A and B are shown apart, each in its own frame.
Chain A
Amino acid sequence: MPNILVVEDSPTMRQLISFAIKRIPSCRVIEATDGVDALKKLSSEKIDLILADINMPVMDGLKLVSLVRGNPAYKDIPVIIVTTEGAEEDRKRALSIGANAYLPKPIQTQELLKLVNTYLAG
Chain B
Amino acid sequence: MEKETGFVGKADEFLQMFKKGEEFTKELLRENEKLRYKIAQLEETLQRSGDEARTKLYEGRISLLEEELKSLKERFKKVEEENKDFASKYLEVEEENNNLANLYVASYQLHSTLDFSEVLRIVLEIIINLIGAEKFAVLLIDDKTNELIPVSSEGMSTSEAPKVKIGQGTIGTVAKEGESFFSDDLSGDAEFNPHEPIVCIPLKIKEHVIGVLSIYKLLMQKSGFTNVDYELFNLLAGHAATAIFSSRMYTQSERKLTTIQSFLDLLKEKPRK
Interface residues of A (CB under 8 A from B): 10-13, 15-16, 19-20, 84, 86-87, 104-106, 108-110
Instruction: Please give, as numbers and ranges, the residues of chain B lying within 8 Å of A20 by CB-CB distance.
Output: 98, 101
22 contacting pairs across A/B (C-beta < 8 A):
A10-B128, A10-B129, A12-B126, A13-B125, A13-B129, A15-B108, A16-B102, A16-B105, A19-B104, A20-B98, A84-B128, A84-B129, A86-B222, A104-B219, A105-B129, A106-B132, A106-B222, A108-B98, A109-B98, A109-B101, A109-B102, A110-B94
Q: CB < 8 Å: which of B94, B98, B101, B122 contacts A12? A: B122
Closest 5 CB pairs of A and B: A86-B221, A109-B98, A106-B132, A12-B125, A104-B221
The digit string for B98-113, where 1 denotes a CB below 8 A from any CB of A, is 1001101110110000
Interface contact B220-A15, CB-CB below 8 Å:
no
Instruction: Please give, as numbers and ranges, the residues of chain A lying within 8 Å of B108 by CB-CB distance.
Output: 15
Interface contact B94-A105, CB-CB below 8 Å:
no
A12 touching B131 in the complex, CB below 8 Å, given contacts A104-B219, A105-B219, A109-B98: no
Is B27 part of the binding interface, using a Cβ–Cβ cutoff of 8 Å? Answer: no
A86 touching B220 in the complex, CB below 8 Å, given contacts A12-B129, A109-B98: yes
Interface residues of B (CB under 8 A from A): 94-95, 98, 101-102, 104-106, 108-109, 122, 125-126, 128-132, 134, 219-222
Interface contact A12-B219, CB-CB below 8 Å:
no
Instruction: Please give, as numbers and ranges, the residues of chain B lying within 8 Å of A106 by CB-CB distance.
Output: 129-132, 219, 222
Interface contact A86-B219, CB-CB below 8 Å:
yes
Interface contact B219-A84, CB-CB below 8 Å:
yes
Minimum CB–CB distance for B24 against chain A, Å: 99
Interface contact A15-B109, CB-CB below 8 Å:
yes
- Distance in angstroms between the alpha carbons of A11 and B222 in the assembled complex: 22
Instruction: Please give, as numbers and ranges, the residues of chain B lying within 8 Å of A12 by CB-CB distance.
Output: 105-106, 109, 122, 125-126, 129-130
Q: CB < 8 Å: which of B98, B105, B128, B219 contacts A15? A: B105
Minimum CB–CB distance for A77 against chain B, Å: 24
- Distance in angstroms between the alpha carbons of A87 and B220 in the assembled complex: 7
A10 touching B125 in the complex, CB below 8 Å, given contacts A104-B221, A105-B132: yes
Instruction: Please give, as numbers and ranges, the residues of chain A lying within 8 Å of B129 by CB-CB distance.
Output: 10, 12-13, 16, 84, 105-106
- Distance in angstroms between the alpha carbons of A104 and B218 in the assembled complex: 13
- Distance in angstroms between the alpha carbons of A49 and B108 in the assembled complex: 27
Instruction: Please give, as numbers and ranges, the residues of chain A lying within 8 Å of B101 by CB-CB distance.
Output: 16, 19-20, 109
- Distance in angstroms between the alpha carbons of A16 and B104 in the assembled complex: 9
Tell me the nearest residue of chain B to A20, going by C-beta.
Answer: B101
